[in-house]
Structure 1
Amino acid sequence: MNRPLVFRILACVVCLDLFEVKGQTNDWRSYVQEMAEEEPDETILENMIEELIQLENHPMNLNAVTRDALERFPLLSAGEAAGLADFLTKNRPVYTVYELRNVPSLSFNKIQLILPFFFVGEFEPQEASLRMRDVLRYGKKELQIRLDKTLTERAGYRTYPDSVLARYPNRKYAGEDFYHSLRFAFSYREKVQFGVIVEKDAGEPLFRPLKGFDHDGFYFILREEKGFLKNVTLGDYRLSFGQGLIVNNDFMISKSWAVTNIVRRTQAPKRHFSAAESGFFRGGAAVFNLNPVSVTLFYSRKPIDANLSDEEITSFKTDGYHRTPLEISKKGNTREQVAGANVNYRKDRLQIGASAVYYSYNRKDNPALRDYNRYYLRGYHHWNASVDYSYRFSHLVVAGETAVAGNGAVATLNAIHYNPSSRLSVSLLHRYFPISYNALYGQAFSEGGKVQNEQGIYLGATCSLSSRISLTSYIDYAYFPWMKYGVDTPSHAIDGYFLGTYSFSDASKLDLRYKFKRKEKNAHYPDDESTTVLPYYTHKLRLRFAHVPEKGWYFRSAAEAVRYRQQYVSEEFGYQLSQQIGYRGKGKMTGEMYGSYFDTDSYQTRLYSNERNLLNTFYIPSFYGQGARLALSLRCAVTSKFSVSVKGAFTHYFDRDFIGTGTEKIDGSDRTDVYMYIRWKF
């Protein structure tokens, strides 16, 4: 790889389009994409994107939105939601969304980010009672149809002789080579929500005998914010208690987001409307209002997939794929039951909660014993309990949760968020997750991805030096006191981040992002077969320019470089150049074209695509090796209620003769994908 040439190109590409006119450069999709690159659970991101799209399509009326609805809004921190609720209580009716600029807790950048989710409508001093005739008359209905297909043939869809399949039955997929989903949603304000989803992944049969689609689900939610029965939920739903130490299958906080949003809050049941086949509850939940106390009860019972040995669970299968005979045999082979409760006291600035959850399985959970998993959960059932708290001062929020597992292990997480003005925000978090602590549905701030075997401290800050310059940075240190998979000794991790943004105008901005990570893993010294644990370092640098002129056009140019080094072993490099050109005018047609060239040494130096996806579609591909990517998406609003979106993506590799492995292997250096999405509101 020609390094001097690489850096000359990096310098040149960001000099494109450096001019300024009026427009808008902030986009919540780009904001969420920053989270995706930190690689948290894909299901969590999909749920967040789906909820934000729903809110964008049905914005909240500033003259009617409740405090609870603001606290459910993912893009607002606890302090920001409380500050906005206090402002609206004192100043309603408001007459324009730009009155948000008068909310002390909201920065200029945050206001730009959340504007698409609010509008100013009729002032409603008292919440209207729920009447069935209004629900039926004014309820909004929506049908969504999605179809994805890879045009390039993959190994799992080829024709094989019967003799080969008799010996290797999992070499061929059982179903068609396309993804398909259908969703129906009904909503009346925030009070009534109902929906149905059916879905099949590529390779799964479209209609299995007596089975229909591979995955189906529904939800029904009834809300009365001021009633005794505040929330009734049936079907598929998600929950979050406290800081997530025992229950959280709602949203995960990424480290870059935690700078301003580090404090979580207990959430009432939410619908699960994504196609993800794991990580949710199926059953019923209710929230009772005993002001100032609320009580949440929930129960879930559903079949889940598991890998078995001697009829015992060795691990849970969460990818949702049922394409080969082996995968199909694992579908729903285990029964899970979960029940729990939360009692939450809230008065003025103080919140105190207590939660408990109980799990049981019809099979014994018994992973094959290894040194690294010696303290993993084993048995037929398990429980967790916790207490959580938060207190909001004028410019300071303190919050935390302490939890106990069935074996007596105690975990704790505590955080402070200081926000003296809309220009400065500082967050500090400490977590202590013992080796023997287990929480199957726990999901809290961590480096290792589990609420187990981790101690750490995080410090983050964001500062607006002026209306044009903003800086965001964090550093996180984690210690893992027990070995992990691929790490045969206790280990350490350091994660650093810096983002600087300069706005030339409302229409143009330039940002520079740097990421640093130091972790440890098993490795071999050169010319030595013995295994040792060595540190490795990853540096990522991105320079990006965004320009949004008038009349609906927008341009984004980016240059990224990555360096990976493992001590005494190897050093690898990579870079990517990308350009987006899009149009979102007032006419029927909108579209975007994305192109990139990437050149990286290995998977360790992979880089992510910044292309836009179709509505309700979560897909952020990563690339390594040498190649080019081209994507084109178009949307046609046939009427105000009916739209069709299509996307095509083509990837060519210069350094290989095949793509992928196993049943996903493509013979050749090209891959072509097409996507279609139909939306009908009625």
Structure 2
Amino acid sequence: MNRPLVFRILACVVCLDLFEVKGQTNDWRSYVQEMAEEEPDETILENMIEELIQLENHPMNLNAVTRDALERFPLLSAGEAAGLADFLTKNRPVYTVYELRNVPSLSFNKIQLILPFFFVGEFEPQEASLRMRDVLRYGKKELQIRLDKTLTERAGYRTYPDSVLARYPNRKYAGEDFYHSLRFAFSYREKVQFGVIVEKDAGEPLFRPLKGFDHDGFYFILREEKGFLKNVTLGDYRLSFGQGLIVNNDFMISKSWAVTNIVRRTQAPKRHFSAAESGFFRGGAAVFNLNPVSVTLFYSRKLIDANLSDEEITSFKTDGYHRTPLEISKKGNTREQVAGANVNYRKDRLQIGASAVYYSYNRKDNPALRDYNRYYLRGYHHWNASVDYSYRFSHLVVAGETAVAGNGAVATLNAIHYNPSSRLSVSLLHRYFPISYNALYGQAFSEGGKVQNEQGIYLGATCSLSSRISLTSYIDYAYFPWMKYGVDTPSHAIDGYFLGTYSFSDASKLDLRYKFKRKEKNAHYPDDESTTVLPYYTHKLRLRFAHVPEKGWYFRSAAEAVRYRQQYVSEEFGYQLSQQIGYRGKGKMTGEMYGSYFDTDSYQTRLYSNERNLLNTFYIPSFYGQGARLALSLRCAVTSKFSVSVKGAFTHYFDRDFIGTGTEKIDGSDRTDVYMYIRWKF
């Protein structure tokens, strides 16, 4: 690569659009997209996007919203939700959403971010009782249809002779080469929610052999905030207790987001409306209100996929794919049962909770013994229990959870969030997860992705130096006292982050982001076959300009560079230049075009696309090698209740003759994808 030329281009691309127009910049979709590069679990992000879209379509009335509803809102931290609830209690009725500027705990950027989710309606001093005629008359219904297809032929869809398939039956997919899903949702305020989803992945058969879609699910939720039976949930749902040490299949906190949202809170059951086929509960849950105590009970029973050896579980299969005979044979081959409870006491600023969960399987969980997995869970059943707490001072929140596993191992996580004003926020978190601690549905703040084999400390801060300049930064250190997959000794990790933003106006801003990570992995010395553990370093730098008015043309220009270095190995580099241009006006049509050029040395220097997706579609591709990406999306609002969205994406590689491997292999250097999304509200 010509490095001087690269960096001259980086500077030019960002400077193309430096002009000032009034409008709105803080789009929550961009905010969530920032998390995607840190959070590898697509199910978690898809669930968050689903919930935010639902709230955007049905915004909350500031004169009626409850404290519980504010605490369920993913974009508010525990302190921000409490501060907003206190403000509304003292100042209702409010007359405009811009009165949010008077909430001390909300920064200007946070207010801009959450504005689409609130409106000012009628003041309701007393919560109206739930009446069936109102549910049927005023309930909102919505049908969503999605279809995705890759136009470029992949190996799994080719025609093979019977003799080849007899020898290699998993070389060909059993189904059609498109993705398809149908979703129906019904809601009445925050009180009643009902939905059904059916879905097939590309390669899975549709209506063959007359079994319908590969995946289906439903949910029903009834909420009565002030009743004895506060919440009843049936079907597919998600839960979160405490800080997530024993149960959390709800949202996960990325490190950059944790700067202001470090403290988690126990959540009532939520719907699982995602097409993800793992990571949720299926059964029933209920929340009983014994003010100031609430009690949550839940039970789940479902068939899950697992990889088996001698009828024992070696690992759980969570990708949800059932395309080849081998994948189909694993579908629903294991029965899982989970039951648990949470008792939560809340009085004024104090919250204390106690939780327990029990798992059982009809097969023995017995991964093939390796040094790194010596302390993994084994057996037919397991349990966890925990105690969690939080206390809110005027500008300080302290929270934590301590949990025990069935083998007696104890894990703990404790955090402090200090918010002296809307201009400054500081978070500190410590976690201690022993190597012998296991929690199958636990999901807490961590570097390694599991609540196991990790000790660490995190410090993050965000500061508004003025109305135009804001800074966000964190540093996280983690120590892994036992070996991991691909790391044959105890190891360390350091993760650093800096984001500086300059706002030219409400519509235009420039940001500079730097990310640093140091980790360790197995490696070979040069000219030596012996294996050792060596550190590697990744540096990422992004410069981005955005001009996003409320109406009219908008632009986003970005230049990114990455550097990867491993000891005794030559350095690797990469960069990406991208440009978004879109238009949204008063008419029925809106559209956006995205183009990028990337040039990276290897997978280690991969970079992520900044393109927008269709509504309710989560896909953020990463690229490495040398190539270009072009995407075009259009949306037509035929009526106020019926819309059709389409997207086409084309990727060309300059450095290869094929794309992908195995059944996903494409012969050639091009890939073309099309997407369609239909939405009907009635």
TM-score by length of 2: 1.00
- Decide whether the 8 Å contact of 2:303 with 2:334 is kept in 1: yes
Give 3-state SS (helix, strand or coil) of 1:14's partner.
helix
- Decide whether the 8 Å contact of 1:553 with 1:581 is kept in 2: yes
Residues 551 and 31 of structure 1: is their aligned pair in 2 closer, same or farther, counting only changes over 3 Å?
A: closer
Instruction: Tell me the alpha carbon deviations over residues 158-188 of structure 1, each in whole angstroms, 9 at most, x when there is no partner.
Output: 0000000000000000000000000000000
**CA distance in structure 2 between the partners assigned to 1:442 and 1:634 by the alignment:** 40
Instruction: Tell me the alpha carbon deviations over residues 348-372 of structure 1, each in whole angstroms, 9 at most, x when there is no partner.
Output: 0000000000000000000000000
Q: Residue 97 of structure 1 corresponds to which residue in structure 2?
A: 97
Instruction: Tell me the alpha carbon deviations over residues 441-481 of structure 1, each in whole angstroms, 9 at most, x when there is no partner.
Output: 00000000000000000000000000000000000000000
- Decide whether the 8 Å contact of 2:230 with 2:289 is kept in 1: yes
**CA distance in structure 2 between the partners assigned to 1:39 and 1:250 by the alignment:** 13
**CA distance in structure 1 between the partners assigned to 2:208 and 2:262 by the alignment:** 45
**CA distance in structure 1 between the partners assigned to 2:573 and 2:515 by the alignment:** 15
Give 3-state SS (helix, strand or coil) of 2:336's partner.
strand
Structure 1 residues not aligned, in runs of 5+: none
Matches within 5 A, 1:51-70: 51-70=51-70
**CA distance in structure 2 between the partners assigned to 1:43 and 1:535 by the alignment:** 30
Q: CA deviation at 1:122?
A: 0.8
Bigger drift between 398-407 and 39-48 goes to 39-48
Give 3-state SS (helix, strand or coil) of 1:570's partner.
coil
Give 3-state SS (helix, strand or coil) of 1:86's partner.
helix
Instruction: Tell me the alpha carbon deviations over residues 297-350 of structure 1, each in whole angstroms, 9 at most, x when there is no partner.
Output: 000000000000000000000000000000000000000000000000000000
Q: CA deviation at 1:608?
A: 0.3
Instruction: Tell me the alpha carbon deviations over residues 260-289 of structure 1, each in whole angstroms, 9 at most, x when there is no partner.
Output: 000000000000000000000000000000
- Decide whether the 8 Å contact of 1:40 with 1:254 is kept in 2: no
Structure 2 residues not aligned, in runs of 5+: none
Q: CA deviation at 1:25?
A: 1.2
**CA distance in structure 2 between the partners assigned to 1:585 and 1:398 by the alignment:** 45
Q: CA deviation at 1:548?
A: 2.2
Q: CA deviation at 1:387?
A: 0.1
Give 3-state SS (helix, strand or coil) of 2:88's partner.
helix
Instruction: Tell me the alpha carbon deviations over residues 598-620 of structure 1, each in whole angstroms, 9 at most, x when there is no partner.
Output: 00000000000010000000000
- Decide whether the 8 Å contact of 2:343 with 2:354 is kept in 1: yes
Give 3-state SS (helix, strand or coil) of 2:30's partner.
helix
Instruction: Tell me the alpha carbon deviations over residues 415-463 of structure 1, each in whole angstroms, 9 at most, x when there is no partner.
Output: 0000000000000000000000000000000000000000000000000
**CA distance in structure 1 between the partners assigned to 2:677 and 2:479 by the alignment:** 45
Instruction: Tell me the alpha carbon deviations over residues 180-217 of structure 1, each in whole angstroms, 9 at most, x when there is no partner.
Output: 00000000000000000000000000113242100000
Give 3-state SS (helix, strand or coil) of 2:202's partner.
coil
**CA distance in structure 1 between the partners assigned to 2:451 and 2:638 by the alignment:** 48
- Decide whether the 8 Å contact of 1:21 with 1:550 is kept in 2: no
The answer to whether 1:8 aligns with 2:8 is yes
**CA distance in structure 1 between the partners assigned to 2:363 and 2:527 by the alignment:** 46
**CA distance in structure 2 between the partners assigned to 1:19 and 1:679 by the alignment:** 35
Instruction: Tell me the alpha carbon deviations over residues 1-20 of structure 1, each in whole angstroms, 9 at most, x when there is no partner.
Output: 11111111111111111110
Q: CA deviation at 1:484?
A: 0.1
Residues 270 and 342 of structure 1: is their aligned pair in 2 closer, same or farther, counting only changes over 3 Å?
A: same
Q: CA deviation at 1:40?
A: 3.0
**CA distance in structure 2 between the partners assigned to 1:344 and 1:298 by the alignment:** 14
Bigger drift between 305-314 and 580-589 goes to 580-589
**CA distance in structure 2 between the partners assigned to 1:470 and 1:174 by the alignment:** 53
**CA distance in structure 2 between the partners assigned to 1:326 and 1:465 by the alignment:** 57
- Decide whether the 8 Å contact of 1:650 with 1:670 is kept in 2: yes
**CA distance in structure 2 between the partners assigned to 1:467 and 1:555 by the alignment:** 22
**CA distance in structure 2 between the partners assigned to 1:317 and 1:585 by the alignment:** 45
Give 3-state SS (helix, strand or coil) of 2:499's partner.
strand
**CA distance in structure 1 between the partners assigned to 2:159 and 2:361 by the alignment:** 39
**CA distance in structure 2 between the partners assigned to 1:555 and 1:296 by the alignment:** 47
Instruction: Tell me the alpha carbon deviations over residues 381-424 of structure 1, each in whole angstroms, 9 at most, x when there is no partner.
Output: 00000000000000000000000000000000000000000000
The total of aligned residue pairs comes to 682
Aligned CA RMSD, in angstroms, stands at: 0.6
**CA distance in structure 2 between the partners assigned to 1:566 and 1:450 by the alignment:** 25
**CA distance in structure 1 between the partners assigned to 2:369 and 2:346 by the alignment:** 44
- Decide whether the 8 Å contact of 2:142 with 2:186 is kept in 1: yes
- Decide whether the 8 Å contact of 1:552 with 1:584 is kept in 2: yes
Residues 338 and 551 of structure 1: is their aligned pair in 2 closer, same or farther, counting only changes over 3 Å?
A: closer
Q: CA deviation at 1:587?
A: 1.4
**CA distance in structure 1 between the partners assigned to 2:533 and 2:551 by the alignment:** 56
Matches within 5 A, 1:134-533: 134-533=134-533
**CA distance in structure 2 between the partners assigned to 1:550 and 1:182 by the alignment:** 31
**Identity between Structure 1 and Structure 2 (%):** 100
- Decide whether the 8 Å contact of 1:40 with 1:252 is kept in 2: no
Instruction: Tell me the alpha carbon deviations over residues 56-94 of structure 1, each in whole angstroms, 9 at most, x when there is no partner.
Output: 011000011000000000000000000000000011111
Give 3-state SS (helix, strand or coil) of 1:160's partner.
coil
Q: CA deviation at 1:126?
A: 0.6
Residues 616 and 549 of structure 1: is their aligned pair in 2 closer, same or farther, counting only changes over 3 Å?
A: closer
Q: CA deviation at 1:585?
A: 1.4
Q: CA deviation at 1:648?
A: 0.2
Q: CA deviation at 1:21?
A: 1.4
TM-score by length of 1: 1.00
- Decide whether the 8 Å contact of 1:151 with 1:674 is kept in 2: yes
Q: CA deviation at 1:549?
A: 4.1
Bigger drift between 581-590 and 219-228 goes to 581-590
Give 3-state SS (helix, strand or coil) of 2:618's partner.
coil
The answer to whether 1:661 aligns with 2:661 is yes
Q: CA deviation at 1:570?
A: 2.7
Residues 616 and 550 of structure 1: is their aligned pair in 2 closer, same or farther, counting only changes over 3 Å?
A: closer
Q: CA deviation at 1:568?
A: 1.1
- Decide whether the 8 Å contact of 2:25 with 2:549 is kept in 1: no
Q: CA deviation at 1:550?
A: 6.1
**CA distance in structure 1 between the partners assigned to 2:12 and 2:591 by the alignment:** 26
